[in-house]
Amino acid sequence: MIPYGTQNIAPEDILAVESVLKSAWLTQGPAIERFEQLVAEHCGSKYAVATCNATSALHIACLASGLKAGDALWTSPISFVASANCALYCGAHPDFVDIDPASYNLSVVALQKRLDAAARNNCLPKILVPVHFAGQSCAMAEIAELAQSYKVAVIEDASHAIGGKYRGWPIGACAYSDMTIFSFHPVKIITSGEGGMILTNREDLYERLVRLRSHGITRDATLMESESEGPWYYQQLELGFNYRMTDIQAALGASQMQRLDTMIARRQDLFEQYSGLLEGLPITLPWQSPGTVSANHLYVIRLRSDKLTKTRRQVVEEMRAKGIGVNVHYIPIHMQPYYRRLGFNAGDFPVAEQYYQEAITLPLYFGMTDSDQARVATTLRQVLQ
Ligand SMILES: *Cc1c(COP(=O)(O)O)cnc(C)c1O
């Protein structure tokens, strides 16, 4: 089976992990800082905080932004559930902004309308979480302008997007946001096994994130509420978590960072090759927005239901039966049973729901060969005939 995505592990990754295993530090050691520095340098942000996954990163980023019970957080319905669940972890209310029909990112037009209405009704969200779907940046300049005028914090969910660019800025530079989140799950662009990271340019947020990552504890005497009692002393100043990454994971992540540019270049080649290989089929190819360089995490096509007799389900099942591991990203979050119980309904976000009916993710990953890719295209051509 050709998977829709998979990790790439090189011999030097294995050596990097092995050297941590032979060192004194399996966690809370020097590999974490090295990985954080590599990512911050690559992205041009001042600070980076590694976490055990992107879900925990989203959680503490929300807490650091002051999200609490009674507040609202808005995100895109076409994302992984973690983009919205972070609101619920903080006792806040998640809500959604419908997507743009071309980029599948949250729509700036819909956002403007909803913000105007929310301002009139005195129910503005505290946080907006734009998700860079499939690795392509949202319209961050427009989003940042709206967020500033309505005083909404912006946390970029860039789980798909490390290595991408927006208007010349690397994603993660936080040029248009307060914080940016990356995921290093094996299916994403680079991996640390499990792992996440938060980037920011704000020292206050950085200090808060470091503390929330590790139980709300500080060892810095200048931050303590009373005098230090000795070299063993620490104080818990607030309720935090154990959301730390291990050094084993950080060494893998740091080693993978060395190949980030190569990985993005190969993904871009595969993306471009698909356009030729899929020409003439009754499908809509993904759109690349001018001014962005996508990390090309996912290659999503849409079936032209007006030109096809087969359903999306039939196409997916036949492709899988022929060894092509196609997938669907994503089931709209508000359609999940848990979210329906919170009051969301079919019809709430029609552009997202229509997209979901037609979307199929084709395989695309760094180690994919040209002949694997040709097999995907030929199989799709047969199935759509
Ligand atoms: C994968 C993903 C997450 C969660 O990442 P983990 O590292 O698995 O916690 C969050 N948001 C989006 C958009 C994702 O794709």
Do 130 and 75 form a contact (C-beta atoms < 8 A)? yes
165-166 and 169-170 as β-strands: parallel, antiparallel, unpaired?
Answer: antiparallel
Look-up: residue for tokens 């700036």? 108
Bridge partners (DSSP) listed for residue 264: none
For ligand 1, residues with CB inside 6 Å are 53-55, 79-80, 82-83, 131, 157, 159-160, 183, 185, 196
In a mutational test of the pocket of ligand 1, which residue from 52, 55, 190, 241 has the highest number of ligand atoms less than 8 Å from its CB? 55
For 248-296, write each residue's pLDDT tens digit: 999 999 999 999 999 999 999 999 999 999 999 999 999 999 999 999 9
In a mutational test of the pocket of ligand 1, which residue from 51, 183, 190 has the highest number of ligand atoms less than 8 Å from its CB? 183
Structure token digits, residue 41:
């340098």
Question: Rounded to whole angstroms, how far apart are CA atoms 8 and 30?
Answer: 24
- By CB atoms closer than 10 A (0-12, 13-18, 19+), residue 1 is exposed
Sheet containing 47-51: order of strands:
47-51, 196-200, 179-183, 153-157, 127-129, 72-75, 93-96
Name, in order, each residue with C-beta under 8 angstroms of 354's C-beta and a sequence gap of 6 or more: none
Name, in order, each residue with C-beta under 8 angstroms of 208's C-beta and a sequence gap of 6 or more: 63, 64
Structure token digits, residue 323:
């060894």
For 323-332, write each residue's pLDDT tens digit: 999 999 999 9
Q: Indicate which residue's Cα is closest to atom 6 of ligand 1.
A: 54
In a mutational test of the pocket of ligand 1, which residue from 86, 156, 185, 191 has the highest number of ligand atoms less than 8 Å from its CB? 185
For 18-45, write each residue's pLDDT tens digit: 999 999 999 999 999 999 999 999 999 9
Per-residue burial over 131-149, b = 16 or more CB atoms within 10 Å of its CB, e = otherwise: bbbbbbbbbbeebbebbee
Which pLDDT score is estimated for 331?
A: 98
Q: Which of 134, 140, 144, 201 minimizes the C-alpha distance to 167?
A: 140
For 212-250, write each residue's pLDDT tens digit: 999 999 999 999 999 999 999 999 999 999 999 999 999
Predicted confidence band at 314 (pLDDT cuts at 50, 70, 90)? very high
Structure token digits, residue 167:
């208007």
